[in-house]
A and B are shown apart, each in its own frame.
Chain A
Amino acid sequence: MTYRQRRALTAYAFLLPAIVYFIVFFFWPIAIELWASFRSGQPLIGKSEFAGMKNYLYIFQDKLAIKAISATMIYALGSTVFTLLLALGLASILAGPLKARNTIRAILFFPYIVSFVISALMWKSILDPYTGLLNAALLKVGLPPQYWLTDPDAAIWVLVAVSVWKDIGYAVLIYIAAIQGIPSHLYQAAELDGARRHHLFRDITLPLLMPTTLFLAVVIMIASMQEMALPYLMTGGGPANATRLYSLHVYETAFQGLNIGYASALSFVMFLLILLITWVQFKLLNRDIRHV
């Protein structure tokens, strides 16, 4: 065996655990799901037969699926845009010489490390129309109580707000690291060129944060499109299916309706949709920035 072959073999030996892990827990389930999506009956758990594109074509007739897609898009876009905007603003302040910055960073990061179930139940209790803290506070200042989670127009935005609250600490942390990585001499050069604070932010900070923004946008968008715990725990998909996010629809189709083949097709469509959105984000936001 040559030296090159020995080296390659050693490399593969080290990679083997990761390769096995990915095959068993990622590629194999995806393959099974793809197989199941072309079958009717009870694939995976019982008898099934080949159904061709039937499951996929049915999605267009499934009003609940269409509604779930639109609710998911609102939720994912809302969560991503608001998280990024707020995180960028906060990070710009917290990256500076602020006295209490470490305390504020810790407070902001705290929701990110709290279990999703605990967060969801906590917010559900705070937002309860009759016993919740928020409405009690509104009443205290003379404002009418709101039906946060039972108003079909408001509920999805409440979920967006909780999602932003949960993720913002993570995004702020990443943004702060990126901002602190921008060389200070670039700001000084720009100041000498006549740039004021808003120019520095617009012309230096913002464009140099593009790779970070792309990373965060992709990560948050994908996580939001797969979101299930929040509507499942806070609203059960209601009111009037207004917060029936796609993953919840897939879950209920598969495990309550036991329509595994159709649920697999739904999942695969979501997979393709996420792929498409990620590609679009790369096209829109990807900038080749190499520091010299």
Chain B
Amino acid sequence: MTEPVYARKRIMGNLPDILQLLFTGLAVGSIYAIIAVGFTVIFSSTQVVNFAQGEFVMIGALVSYWLVGAEHGPHLPLLLALPLAVLTAMFVGSALGWVLMRPLKDASVTTLIIITVGASMLMHGIASMLWGKDPVSVTAFSKTSGYSLYLPAALTGPDAYPVYIGTQELWVMGLAALIVLLLTFFFNKTMVGKAMRAVSVNRHGARLIGINVSRMVVGAFALSAAIGAIAGAAIAPISMASYGMGTMLGLKGFAAAIVGGLGNFPGSVIAGLLLGIMENFSATYISSQYKDAFAFIILLVVLVISPNGIVALFRRRRARA
């Protein structure tokens, strides 16, 4: 008897669910997007796929944890701790860039990739010694943890669930948007940004016109590390922080970077967001067991159909039309 009513409620009641999935998906996707952008910054100036990208995220999260909340830490206010965490990551990033300077001149891309893998393991090991192996909880940016948004009952039927809008998730999205805006400005309007782009297009040409290529490479690593650290500090209150947190995030961000077309800046942002959303939807509507595999399946599919990324795929379509 109650069956039809129940069914109707299910269909209409799905709206809050969909909005909820979209919201959390966008938050996670923003993180993937930031990490993917980090990959892109380094790849476009050096052709190096930096597998230590995820570790910058970890550094950002753990350093900001230590500065703000750790028992024996200095208990700094967040506004001071965040820039310090970013600076630490930038320092580590430029160190990595500096280490890579020499092999960059004549070693194969394979060698460079392996060095970044080694660097990732090294950071992993050092972090586990500094901060231990247990996950830690990190204080959120805002005091209010979130808002429950009730949709009009006319839309969803009675007693539908509210959509939960987490404040930290809003922070994540806002920071991601800010990073994308700043980077766009940086690469298009500033001298240094333009020089970096020049290096990526033609290293020898750039050197000829008087650009200090080494400084640009170290700069790219520092910039990328800063981006990663912001992502880490922002996601940590949601996901907790631990020395191993960077690996999976880094790999997912990497998948996003490939899906967006390696080196393609808007592509990686779009791919990161899409990946986060699709992953979330697949966990609810397909199966949560294979959720983690989803990003990598998309990665394989994209490599097969359009190795230059989804953006290139659309562009090609448009050209054909």
A and B, one complex?
A: no
Q: Using a CB–CB distance below 8 Å, which chain A residues touch chain B?
A: none
Q: Using a CB–CB distance below 8 Å, which chain B residues touch chain A?
A: none
